[in-house]
Amino acid sequence: MNYTEDFTSWAPPAAPLCWDDQGGTQVVLKNGNTAEFNFWGWQSPNDALLTSPAVTISQNARLKVSWSSNGSTFYNDTVYVMAKQTTATVWDTVDVWGNPDCACGATNTAPSATPVDSIYTLDSNYVGSDIQVRFHGRSGWGPDVFIHSVTVEVDPAFASCPAPQALTATNITASSADLGWASTSTNFEVSYGTGAFPANMGTKVLTSTVPYALTGLNASTTYGFYVRAICAIGDTSVWNGPFSFSTACGTVMAPFSESFGTAGSEPPCWSNSNVQGNTQANAFWKNTSVSWPNYGAQGIVDHTGGGSYAMGVDASTPYNVDVEMETPFIDISGLTNPELKFWIFSNNTNTPGAHNEFSIDLYDGSAWNDSIFTYSADSTDWVEVTVPLTGYTISGPIQVRFAIYKVGAPVNFYNDILIDDISIDNGSGGGGCIPPSGIATSAVTCADADLAWLSDAGTLLTFVKYDTTGFDPATSGTLLINPTSPATLTGLLPGTTYDVYVVDSCALGVAATMYTFTTPTGPLPNIALTYNQTSTTISTATVAFDASGTTDGDTYTWNFGGGTMATGDTASYVYVTNGSFPVTLTVTNGCGSVDSTFTVVVQGISVEESALGRSLNVFPNPNDGNFNVSFTLDANEKVELRVLSAAGQIVLVESLGSVDRYDGSIDLSAKAKGMYILQIETSQGVINRRVTIQ
């Protein structure tokens, strides 16, 4: 029943394969791998229809639509999501998207790389019929709407192995989170990662514990996770997710710097607020990427003029507001002469000498020290400010608060104030040690990297400490004591950003330099395998498997089903019946793992060609636990009938005596639903048949 259209093989001007794009004043466009309702280019009231082919609904189903749009309440764009049985004349409305906004990075005319999913439970009356899905877009001349994929699939709530529901993430810290879900199953597989990723490409872990404690995360990073239930061998639910969450901010190690190089708002892990709780835009610090400075600050964007930005406070209304912006927590324990440096721009050309009140507060690890620096001046150029921090008792990581009180008259809206290029480092003469230089990485893989640096001739001892970006070196991290350059950093994770602190100790103290690098996400293993049935007897067949042609593989795990596993790039397995059998090979390296599931066809085991093999009949199958078994033999011989669970446990044994035929019934209605193995054993061997109780 499952059906998916991802619009990848669509070749306009034709409609997507088996879809209908007629019936509106316009037709949908292809934009990358999306179907685009080009509202931005269609004047109101133009519209377009996109109707799916017929999809057979054999059981309770759901509709999943992956989409993106910038959205704007200024316009009046609408997309109707509809469905109906093919025999019906009236469409059922599933949802109405009014000015849809995914908040996922789409622009007015370009789709997002990280679309969102909308999931709808389809009417249970559709079961047993063919249905169609339709999207009817009506333009209000606003941002385009992009359909990335359309899926009609079994509703996990009605599957034989229901997917976990109600995904959550709680107890979130800078490096961990508790992942939760609701399910009646006891075994699960979790797939997690950063950014947009399909479930099979995440980092996978097996667990029977809910909530699952996920550790080793990066601070201030958005993660997503999927989860699926493992109900029995060969009975696994679909993935549910992703559920997204963001880790908390961690402590940053000095030296610290911020040049506001990213457009938008304040940097990650900075706070931006006002004491009065005012919600107007000018009651907060603003990034100059939106080109707001005026009057004496007209045209000022950043200190260096190199295409970056600055942060500032717009002097326009509201007035009498305390606007505050705070840094992340910063560990300055490695600095011997700490000082704060930054650049400020303040130039009231309309009412010179009248200024909004600028001040700096310092959190020393236990309490705030207010107004350790104030500024009130006019200048046509940026002014560098240095604030020594040595006079304060530092008991832990610090924070710096940049505060502006907007006084109103006579300043009014003429004194926009900007700051840029903030740093906290050793001041001149700080400690006397020369910090390490020339730090670089090489031979960076998913699991390790070589780190090189240059130390001054006066260095007595070197320490290297590393962990995921944002970690607190005072309390965590992997420590290398007096390593030789280059040193190998091990135990890394793929696609992860790391901070490395190289600390040199000399006779006058210590000096540290931080370096950041990111591990790659590949290459993942590229599986190449063959298999051959190497020997066959009256009761068994041996199949040899060879994956030695695989590239970039470190470990190999073969899963033959029924709990039977093997390792190595070659393996063999002995089958006792003819038929088609799934085999899964998982190949892993430092960058992750790749699965390949394929079907092995076993033929020639002669017991299947006997009278027993030809005549064995099990019916009905599937069944409710009551089923019939019949067979005929060439001659009288002793026969034993057994039924085994999927885990290999014997649940029924019957000795049929010496017979040449059998026609009887089996009652397993008291047993749990699932898959069972019926075995008939004679002097010629054993024949197995799968029996499903549902």
* pLDDT tens column, 358-370: 999 999 999 999 9
Is 391 a domain residue? yes
Is 92 a domain residue? yes
For residues 590 and 567, give the distance between their C-alpha atoms in angstroms, rounded to a whole number: 17
For residues 379 and 287, give the distance between their C-alpha atoms in angstroms, rounded to a whole number: 21
Q: Name which of 269-283, 598-612, 663-677 the model is least confident about.
A: 598-612
User: Quick one: DSSP state of residue 233?
Assistant: T
pLDDT of residue 367: 95
Q: Do 41 and 113 fall within a single domain?
A: yes
For residues 669 and 201, give the distance between their C-alpha atoms in angstroms, rounded to a whole number: 40
Q: Give the start-end residues of each E strand in 259-398.
A: 271-274, 286-287, 311-313, 321-326, 330-331, 338-346, 357-363, 368-375, 383-388
Picking from 688, 669, 670, the residue whose alpha carbon sits closest to that of residue 678 is 688
Q: Do 310 and 351 fall within a single domain?
A: yes
Q: Do 267 and 287 fall within a single domain?
A: yes
Does the pLDDT of residue 30 top 50, yes or no?
A: yes
How does residue 555 score in pLDDT terms, banded at 50, 70 and 90?
very high
Does the pLDDT of residue 85 top 90, yes or no?
A: yes
Q: 356: how many CB neighbours lie within 10 A of its CB?
A: 23
Q: 202: how many CB neighbours lie within 10 A of its CB?
A: 21
Q: What are the φ/ψ torsions at residue 517 (nearest 5 degrees)?
A: -145, 165
Does the pLDDT of residue 602 top 80, yes or no?
A: yes
Is 357 a domain residue? yes
- Cβ proximity of 100 and 91 under 8 Å: no
Q: Do 685 and 562 fall within a single domain?
A: no
Q: What are the φ/ψ torsions at residue 413 (nearest 5 degrees)?
A: -100, 20
Is 169 a domain residue? yes
Structure tokens at 684: 């010629």
Is 118 a domain residue? yes
Q: Do 282 and 381 fall within a single domain?
A: yes
Does the pLDDT of residue 643 top 60, yes or no?
A: yes
For residues 435 and 14, give the distance between their C-alpha atoms in angstroms, rounded to a whole number: 64
For residues 541 and 535, give the distance between their C-alpha atoms in angstroms, rounded to a whole number: 6
How does residue 576 score in pLDDT terms, banded at 50, 70 and 90?
confident
Structure tokens at 174: 């800078």
Of 547, 575, 602, which residue is a domain's last? Answer: 602
Q: Could you tell me which residue, 586 or 57, shows the higher pLDDT?
A: 586
pLDDT of residue 203: 94
Rounded average pLDDT over 426-437: 64
pLDDT of residue 218: 87
pLDDT of residue 508: 62
- The domain spanning residue 663 has which CATH number? 2.60.40.1930
pLDDT of residue 309: 93
Burial of 146 (0-12, 13-18, 19+ CB in 10 A): buried
Q: What length does the chain have?
A: 694
Q: What are the φ/ψ torsions at residue 147 (nearest 5 degrees)?
A: -100, 115
Rounded to two decimals, what is the model's pTM? 0.43
152-199 pLDDT tens trace = 988 776 777 888 989 999 999 989 999 999 998 999 999 999 977 878
242-259 pLDDT tens trace = 899 999 888 988 999 999
Of 575, 602, 629, which residue is a domain's last? Answer: 602
The SS3 call for residue 515 is: strand
Q: Do 296 and 323 fall within a single domain?
A: yes
Does the pLDDT of residue 330 top 70, yes or no?
A: yes
Is 488 a domain residue? no
Does the pLDDT of residue 431 top 60, yes or no?
A: no
How does residue 299 score in pLDDT terms, banded at 50, 70 and 90?
confident
Is 138 a domain residue? yes
- The domain spanning residue 33 has which CATH number? 2.60.120.200
Three-class secondary structure assignment of 425-486: EECCCCCCCCCCEEEEEECCCCCCEEEEEECCCCCCEEEEEEEECCCCCCCCCEEEECCCCC
Distances (CA, A) of 566 to 197, 229, 546, 556, 571: 29, 24, 12, 8, 7
Would strands 509-518 and 497-506 be described as parallel, antiparallel, or unpaired?
antiparallel
Report the percentage of the chain scoring pLDDT > 70.
Answer: 97
Is 313 a domain residue? yes
Q: Which domain holds residue 223?
A: 160-246
Q: Say which amino acid occupies 82.
A: M
For residues 112 and 94, give the distance between their C-alpha atoms in angstroms, rounded to a whole number: 24
The SS3 call for residue 595 is: strand
Contacts (Cβ under 8 Å, ≥6 apart) of 198: none
Number of independent structural domains in the chain: 6
Give 387-392's long-range contacts (Cβ < 8 A, gap of 24+): 387/339, 387/340, 387/341, 387/360, 388/337, 388/338, 388/339, 388/427, 389/332, 389/338, 389/339, 389/340, 389/362, 389/424, 390/337, 390/338, 390/339, 390/427, 392/362, 392/364
Q: Do 148 and 24 fall within a single domain?
A: yes
For residues 546 and 198, give the distance between their C-alpha atoms in angstroms, rounded to a whole number: 29
Does the pLDDT of residue 206 top 70, yes or no?
A: yes
- The domain spanning residue 168 has which CATH number? 2.60.40.10
For tokens 């400490």, the residue is: 465
492-540 pLDDT tens trace = 999 899 999 988 877 666 677 888 898 988 888 999 999 999 987 766 7
Q: Do 314 and 278 fall within a single domain?
A: yes
Q: Do 117 and 242 fall within a single domain?
A: no
Handedness of CA 98, 104, 107, 111 (dihedral sign): negative
Does the pLDDT of residue 429 top 50, yes or no?
A: no
Q: Do 276 and 237 fall within a single domain?
A: no
Q: What is the mean pLDDT of the chain?
A: 89
Structure tokens at 102: 């995914």
Contacts (Cβ under 8 Å, ≥6 apart) of 460: 505, 506, 507
- 497 CA to centre of own chain: 15
Of 602, 628, 644, which residue is a domain's last? Answer: 602
Q: Do 311 and 369 fall within a single domain?
A: yes
Q: Do 256 and 401 fall within a single domain?
A: yes
